[in-house]
Structure 1
Amino acid sequence: MTVRTGRRIADLADDWARTITHDSVLTLPEWLATDDEGRDGETRYLLSGENGQGAGLVANPIAAGTFPTNDPVALLLSSELEPGGEAGLVARIGDLRATLADDLASCYPVAVSTLPGGYLPGLVGDLRPENVRLLLDGLQKAASDWGCEAVSVLHVPDGSPLTGELRRRGFVGAAFLAQAQLDLTAKDFDEYLAGLPKRRRNKIRRERREFAEAGFTVRLDDIGRRSREMAELHAAQLQSYGYHQVTAERLQGLMDRIERHLAPWCRILVAERDGELEAFALAYEYAGELHLKMTGFSASAQEHFGYFAMSYYALIEYALQAGVHTIVYGPLTYHAKVVRGCALSPRSSYLLVPEPLRERVAQLAELIDRHNRAVFTAMGTGDR
């Protein structure tokens, strides 16, 4: 079977569009091009097969210091552990992390396969065994070309056909994260609320009322109209989380690329007061799903439940009106998502390290996986 290779999605875009079944906005050539144009380092695309019977791979070499959820070494060594789980397990994880820290730090750069801006592996399409083997061979060849001692496939859903072949090759994995997804069966917001516990319904009504009484009004807007203001709000939000390298200028460039490539699927909800932009939520609508990808809030909006008003309530109202039945929220801040109706689906990241490290890495991964799965299960079945 022929495998084609490109350094940019533009090298393969037409064949990629014909070959990959695009059941997610994250696999579109336009999505990948948006990332390509903002990336300084190398990328490699592989494509096997054709006409809906093939599969593709996206891979990049990553250095230390990238976003932690896209860094398999950071996930292994420093991903935050949610409280709960088996007694004593967190302490054992901490001890093992300490013994591995220096050795794993020497494994950078790491060849990583994941879809940009999403929590899915970078192997997509028809994942029958022969395609998976070819693409993983290509990933390991890219790792060798880039001088990477470690190779990773990130954010693999449970039950994926990738899992068996990854394990056969010596990759070890753990459920470091869980994807949060809200499946909507209600006909309107009142019916959505009715499906939540009474105390949660009352809290949501109070939050929505306070947001409205503060003078904020919500409407749909276009990507190009307020992009500078949105970039500034989002940059301030990321910097408050510690990502000080993310500037408004850098985000303005991203907004420009979104407008150029992704405008047909982009949905922006803005909250204004006296004509001023106070908050926004940017999502993508495709194949029956709404992917929330960017938010920003003024200090005043934050004080009046702007995060919940925009990320959940306004977005849910839009989805119900548009006939969209699934909102994909991504990982982290799990409690806020679960109590508003989201379900959690574990995402395992797999890492292949040099042979001398494999036994200890496998032990650490197994402990993290056990802890996180217990916590995710407890969150999903607990009192909301």
Structure 2
Amino acid sequence: MDSSGRDFDQGAPSALTVHSYSDPAEISREWWESLSHPSAYLGFDWLRARSATIHGKPRFIGVAGPDGEALLGAPAFLTDSSSHPAYDPARFLGMADLPEEDIAAEPGAAAALARLRGRLEDRASGPSVVSGSPGRMGGVSYAGALSPEGRRDALGLAAAELERQAEAASAELVCWVYVIEDADGTADTVLRERGYTRVSVGADCHLPITWDSFDGYLRGFGAKRRRSIQREVRAFTEAGVTVERHGVEALDRELAGLELQWRRKYDRKADLEATVSDYRELREHVGDAMTVFVARRQGRALGFVTFIEDGPVWWARFPGFDYSAGSEDIYLYFNLVFYHPIRVAIGEGISSISYSMGSYETKCSRGCSPRHLLAYVRTADDASLAADLEVADRVQHRRFDRIARAHTHRGRG
């Protein structure tokens, strides 16, 4: 443990201690991995490999018991306008991707969002304290044997420490981000009692694997969509494209170039050498936990997609595509990201695939269901900000309810 630990008397037989780490490498892997993680994104190896991609200053929080045992862990960062946009509240709370039809359907939403975005723009250069994990996923890791009361006490200490650090850094906002809705009742209760407002900032596109064959997957769709999928699979096969499964060692300079094409398409920062360096970090720290599917034709890589393997759950991560290779004509995206991995997942008894945020209509049209990803934003002394965030939350729920209804699939087996 580092020298930043402080004791807090909780009326328990012995004091708890909270620690803050400015470098994840300072944390004992054994200590962190003794906790139960809500997803692979909170695992030590993923955090070591990817924390630098947030471009923030680490402020990892650990709460220890009377004998130094791990009770709670939460990754956090001091971020600003130079950080990854998914971890800068001035950008992710603006929710620029909200459809106009959902805004118009919610009374007062247009005015509330205009106020919210104006306030965020005013403070765009200021720092914030954000608890979340690389990859747009958050949550809290607890000791498996910790009681509900113990969880509340430990999380209260962790939240108080991040709030203290925010004050010391003159950070206006403290946020706990990308928490799957209903996944952590302790966090929901403790943070809201401490004056945080809960707001949906997106959704994780979740695909339960409930079929015993790919034909079973197809039967979950109406006739028109089923014929469309069959046509897309046929076009891919007839084009002579094959998909190979590899480990993390497949991430090389060739695939980095494809990832850059994907990033540039969506106006995301992209640098070849930085991407190759990120791959080295993944090889060093994540290793066997990552699967890479690569689509090739005549030896040339046309695209790839990565998954983190977390027991029976797969978490889809970054892809890459060669957009000059006629990828739309052969339905590269659908075959590489969905159809081929789904076949493999069915064969291996995988229970679900998480397809993360974005492209909601497209992902849900292929079987996914949206799970809200929440941000808890400290608004204890700002009732107007809380009110505008609550309106934004209603718009998000309206949006994803609409998408889910539009893509409800018949038959799940």
TM norm. shorter chain > 0.5? yes
Question: In 2, distance between residues paired with 1:354 and 1:162?
Answer: 16
1:216 is matched with which residue: 235, 241, 263? 241
- Other-structure match for 2:10: none
Deviation at 1:251, TM superposition (A): 0.9
Residue 93 of structure 1 pairs with residue 133 of structure 2: no
Q: Deviations over 1:150-195 (max 9, x none)?
A: 2111122323321222222222231121111100110121111111
Seen in structure 2, the aligned counterparts of structure 1 residues 101 and 59 have a Cα distance that, compared at 3 Å, is closer
Corresponding residue SS for 2:199:
strand
Q: Deviations over 1:95-134 (max 9, x none)?
A: 323542444336x21010001113223x322472101101
Q: Give the Cα separation in 2 of the matches to 1:150 and 1:293.
A: 28
Alpha-carbon offset, residue 320 of structure 1: 1.2
Question: Secondary structure of 1:302's partner?
Answer: coil
- CA separation of 1:87 and 1:110: change in aligned 2, threshold 3 A: closer
Q: Which amino acid letter does the alignment assign opposite residue 27 of structure 1?
A: L
More divergent stretch after superposition (66-75 vs 223-232): 66-75
Q: Is 1:268–1:281's contact at 8 Å kept on the other side of the alignment?
A: yes
| Equivalent position amino acid for 2:294 in 1 | V
Q: 1:208 to 1:84 in 2, by over 3 A?
A: same
- Structure 1 residue ranges without an equivalent (≥5): none
Find out whether 1:112 has 2:140 as its counterpart: no
Q: How does 1:269-288 map to 2 (within 5 A)?
A: 269-288=293-312
Asked if structure 1 preserves the Cα contact closer than 8 Å seen for 2:236 and 2:331, the reply is: yes
Corresponding position of 2:225: 200
Q: Does residue 96 of structure 2 align to residue 79 of structure 1?
A: yes
Amino acid at match of 1:139: L
Which secondary structure state, in structure 1, belongs to the residue aligned with residue 160 of structure 2?
A: helix
For 1:25 and 1:93, the matched residues in 2 are separated by 36
Q: Which residue of 2 aligns with 1:190?
A: 215
The aligned amino acid for 2:87 is N
Structure 2: give runs of 5+ residues left out of the alignment: 1-15, 409-413
Letter of the aligned partner of 1:248 in structure 2? L
State the identity %. 24
TM-score normalized by structure 2?
0.85
Aligned residue runs from structure 1 range 258-273, under 5 A: 258-273=282-297
Tell me the distance in 1 between the aligned counterparts of 2:274 and 2:75. Answer: 23
Displacement after TM superposition at 1:22 (Å): 3.5
Aligned match of 2:373: 347
For residues 219 and 232 of structure 1, the distance between their equivalents in structure 2, rounded to whole angstroms, comes to 18
Which amino acid is the alignment partner of residue 119 of structure 1? M
Matched residue, 2:73: 56
The residue type paired with residue 58 of structure 2 is T
TM-aligned CA deviation for residue 217 of structure 1: 0.6
* Structure 1 residue matching 2:218: 3-state secondary structure: helix
Question: The residue matched to 1:54 in structure 2 has which SS?
Answer: strand
Q: Where do residues 249-260 of structure 1 align in structure 2 (5 Å cutoff)?
A: 249-260=273-284
Query: May I ask how many residue pairs the two structures share in their alignment?
Result: 379
The residue that corresponds to 1:69 in the other structure is: 86
Taking only aligned residues, the RMSD between alpha carbons, in angstroms, comes to 2.3
Query: What is the deviation of 1:49?
Result: 3.3
- Give the drift of 1:241: 0.6
1:15 Cα offset (Å): 4.3
Q: Identify the residue that residue 43 of structure 1 maps to in structure 2.
A: 58
- Post-superposition shift, 1:246? 1.6
In structure 2, relative to structure 1, the CA distance for the partners of 1:87 and 1:44 (3 Å cut) is closer
User: Quick one: which amino acid aligns to residue 352 of structure 1?
Assistant: R
What amino acid does structure 2 have at the position aligned with 1:290? W
Segment of structure 1 superposing worse, 128-137 or 146-155: 146-155
The reply to whether residue 20 of structure 1 matches residue 35 of structure 2 is: yes
Q: CA deviation at 1:298?
A: 1.1
Quote the residue 2:196 is aligned against: 171
